[in-house]
Amino acid sequence: MDLHALTRELHQKNGSKIVMLVADGLGGLPMTAGGKTELETAKTPNLDALASRGVQGASIPVAPGISPGSGPGHLGLFGYDPIKYVIGRGALEATGIGFAMQPGDVAARGNFCTLDTEGKISDRRAGRIASEESAPLAIRLREVKIPGVEIFVEPVKEHRFVVVFRGAGLEGNVKDTDPQAVGAFPLKPVAVDAGSAKTAAIAAEFVAQATKLLAGEKKANGLTLRGFSGRPDLPTYEEVYGLKAAAIAVYPMYKGLAQLVGMKIVGKAQTLKEQVQILTDEWNNYDFFFLHFKYTDSTGEDGNFDAKVKRIEELDAVMPAIENLKPDVLIVTGDHSTPSYLKSHSWHPVPTLLVSDCCRPDGNTSFGESSSIRGGLGQFEAKYLMALALSNAGRMGKYGA
């Protein structure tokens, strides 16, 4: 019996409230041996006070030694085995901006990038170009025409856009064109199987035409494509947990993932304070709330240790407003680690804090990587976090006689 079969059988409804606050890329590393991580360096009096009442652990997003993308990282937190349920970033981005994917569509997440005179990537994110600058460029790419296929291009945020290919015989098993490094040429879209060969050929033609359309741009004169995928079919939070769930996120990708597991997107927040206000406004309408905070990840990817510290302190500052709502279960965690030291997602387990009236406090008085390793939850697979949340909320019955 798999985990969802158990939760479907055992979940119970009551009036309890669960809040899961996900600081994207929360986990980190010291910049020098023996030093402190970003989370341990930050002044976090509110999180530390919660730590004295709660229980900590280090969650493993996918499996030991595996560095996850944001999709698998969040699926694990939501209790969906990220190896069983594979969702491409393209489908997440498309769903997140409200694009209605049809069966047979293939979506890819696009990144504008900067190419040097040789055609090599000098900036993978085009200097994190502002949305006001990138949106007209994405719309310009609608001029690409390929016989036998409909092409939809939609702006997302900053350097991101979505492209959706619609036509007969398309499958999404195509490798990314982002080499994940500067000083390298963009990769060609390569089909992993015969069924995706047509998609790869269409993607290659799209990139060729799009690059010509972007020629002359100072920042965004190139592009890469990632996460080719069709629309997945996942069981919902209501089905597997009996929860009426809401998502409060800024970035479309995370809205998309939440929608795919049956969460309702509420509000149009652009800041963390606005997200907490929406949480307050919607408090009586839902059982479960997912709040997503992006900037602990982007600062880590930029290798900016001090900026990530400040973002963690920004997160800490809103904790009292969340506590004032008196959630029955409050979880603070991340979908993966993004150490500034590595400037990328990593395999390191993620600090996780759970607070409820019936948790078993582990004696920690601060929240960080070192304390999480010593915490009462130990090292655990993230896919079990929702079962812990349900039990601490009094929403799980007994298994067996």
Tokens of 349: 């387990």
Greater model confidence, 278 or 97: 278
- Is the pLDDT confidence value at 233 over 90? no
Q: Which of 229, 260, 277 is the last residue of a domain?
A: 229
pLDDT in tens, 194-209: 999 999 999 999 999 9
pLDDT in tens, 6-28: 999 999 999 999 999 999 999 99
* Cα gap 256→107, rounded to integer Å: 13
**% of the chain beyond a pLDDT of 90:** 91
* Cα gap 23→356, rounded to integer Å: 19
Q: Do residue 190 and residue 247 come from a single domain?
A: no
- Mean pLDDT, rounded, of the chain: 96
Greater model confidence, 104 or 382: 382
- pLDDT attached to residue 375: 98
- Residue 350 is part of a domain; what is its CATH number? 3.40.720.10
Q: How many domains does the chain have?
A: 2
Q: Which of 229, 257, 279 is the last residue of a domain?
A: 229
Of 264, 180, 178, give the one whose Cα is nearest residue 224: 178
Q: Do residue 161 and residue 308 come from a single domain?
A: no
Q: Which of 203, 229, 255 is the last residue of a domain?
A: 229
* Cα gap 288→290, rounded to integer Å: 7
Q: Do residue 202 and residue 267 come from a single domain?
A: no
* Cα gap 301→180, rounded to integer Å: 12
pLDDT in tens, 353-373: 999 999 999 999 999 999 999
Residue 100: CB atoms within 10 Å: 9
Q: Do residue 189 and residue 153 come from a single domain?
A: yes
Tokens of 396: 């799980």
The answer to whether residues 268 and 249 touch, using CB atoms and an 8 Å cutoff, is no
- pLDDT attached to residue 253: 84
Confidence of residue 184 (pLDDT cuts 50, 70, 90): very high
- pLDDT attached to residue 1: 60
Average pLDDT over residues 127-142: 96
Q: Do residue 238 and residue 224 come from a single domain?
A: no
- pLDDT attached to residue 269: 94
Cβ-in-10-Å burial (0-12, 13-18, 19+) of 33 comes to: exposed
Q: Do residue 67 and residue 155 come from a single domain?
A: no
Q: Do residue 239 and residue 386 come from a single domain?
A: yes
Instruction: Tell me whether residue 287 is in a domain.
Output: yes
Instruction: Tell me whether residue 398 is in a domain.
Output: no
* Cα gap 22→401, rounded to integer Å: 36
The answer to whether residues 347 and 315 touch, using CB atoms and an 8 Å cutoff, is no
pLDDT in tens, 244-272: 999 999 988 899 889 989 999 999 999 99
Contacts of 318 (CB under 8 A, 6+ apart): 272, 273, 276
- pLDDT attached to residue 393: 98
Of 324, 335, 327, 263, give the one whose Cα is nearest residue 17: 327
Instruction: Tell me whether residue 397 is in a domain.
Output: no
Residue range of the domain that includes 196: 99-229
- pLDDT attached to residue 256: 87
Instruction: Tell me whether residue 94 is in a domain.
Output: no
- pLDDT attached to residue 103: 87
Q: Do residue 240 and residue 280 come from a single domain?
A: yes
Whole-model pTM: value is 0.81
Q: Do residue 104 and residue 76 come from a single domain?
A: no
**Which has the minimum average pLDDT: 42-46, 187-191, 231-235, 323-327?**
231-235
Which residues, in sequence order, are bridge partners of residue 291?
21, 248
Of 241, 242, 263, give the one whose Cα is nearest residue 95: 263
* Cα gap 336→349, rounded to integer Å: 7
Q: Do residue 275 and residue 153 come from a single domain?
A: no
The bridge status of strand 121-123 relative to strand 222-229 is: unpaired
Of 280, 285, 287, 283, give the one whose Cα is nearest residue 238: 287
* Cα gap 95→313, rounded to integer Å: 31
Instruction: Tell me whether residue 400 is in a domain.
Output: no
* Cα gap 170→43, rounded to integer Å: 50
- The CA R_g of the chain, rounded to the nearest whole Å, is 21
Confidence of residue 136 (pLDDT cuts 50, 70, 90): very high
Is the torsion defined by CA of 327, 308, 157, 317 positive or negative? positive
pLDDT in tens, 78-91: 999 999 998 888 98
The three-class DSSP label of residue 377 is: coil
- pLDDT attached to residue 96: 82
**% of the chain beyond a pLDDT of 70:** 100
Confidence of residue 346 (pLDDT cuts 50, 70, 90): very high
